[in-house]
Structure 1
């Protein structure tokens, strides 16, 4: 049996934990997807202890999804992103999610975070990805109604 190599890239979707979460998001009923994005962000943002990679990576992917819906948001093009988004389907998200995403990303970048620890050891090449997402989230925060993500 051929051994599968795990995904470990600097993009918000390019690791096993994020890819698994994206697969679950894709498989979920469309009416549940917005709640799943919120839950991923809230899990990271509300964590007051050591933040595991398994909670941080889905929150980064969720933040990237929220950011992609905003003006000047980065397009979603990773092969590990949810297939429905890559196919151009829409996703309804609440207007308060950019603020929650900023809080989640802030928590992920804190000292007590496995994601930060691992990327610090790897030379911190993923930090600019997070900075770009945060910059978009910090800009105009009005989410357009159900637009397709590219």
Structure 2
């Protein structure tokens, strides 16, 4: 995985995921995001692959961008096309996915703990906080 910073779209996997979001019809975009959350959540206590985690974090950033206090996704590596209004039901799924990513065994967590782990974890926790704000 090529990673150049700690943001949700600052890696090759998330940039590729953005393309998949863009290519989905407007009425299917929420389901693309939901699928990324479910793949992470369904790992349970099994080892969580970094690529699945990265896609879920990118999805969470897209959902959070539509929440009060959420930051818009403005990076050139994010989706190029605007997303329709996303259903609020995605928020708890995003939170559950982020919680799973921050729990062992998680490849992405392990990789970040080898470098800027605390700064990255703070970013993920900030995303989570936006998603839980009503």
Note whether the superposition's TM-score is higher than 0.5.
Answer: yes
Which runs of structure 1 show a deviation greater than 4 angstroms over 4 or more consecutive aligned residues?
none
The residue aligned with 2:107 is 114
* Structure 1, gaps ≥5 residues long: 141-150
Q: Tell me how far apart the structure 2 counterparts of residues 13 and 109 of structure 1 sit (CA, whole Å).
A: 17
- TM-score w.r.t. the length of structure 2 is 0.92
* Structure 2, gaps ≥5 residues long: none
The residue aligned with 2:89 is 96
| Partner SS for 2:14 | helix
Q: Is 2:11 the partner of 1:15?
A: yes
- TM-score w.r.t. the length of structure 1 is 0.83
Query: Post-superposition shift, 1:91?
Result: 1.7
Query: Post-superposition shift, 1:90?
Result: 3.7
Q: How many residues align?
A: 132
CA contact (8 A) 1:102 1:134 kept: yes
Query: Post-superposition shift, 1:34?
Result: 1.0
Question: How does 1:5-84 map onto structure 2 within 5 Å?
Answer: 6-48=2-44, 49-84=46-81
The residue aligned with 2:120 is 126
| Partner SS for 1:56 | helix
What CA RMSD, in Å, does the superposition of the two structures yield over aligned residues?
A: 1.4
Structure holding more helix per residue: 2
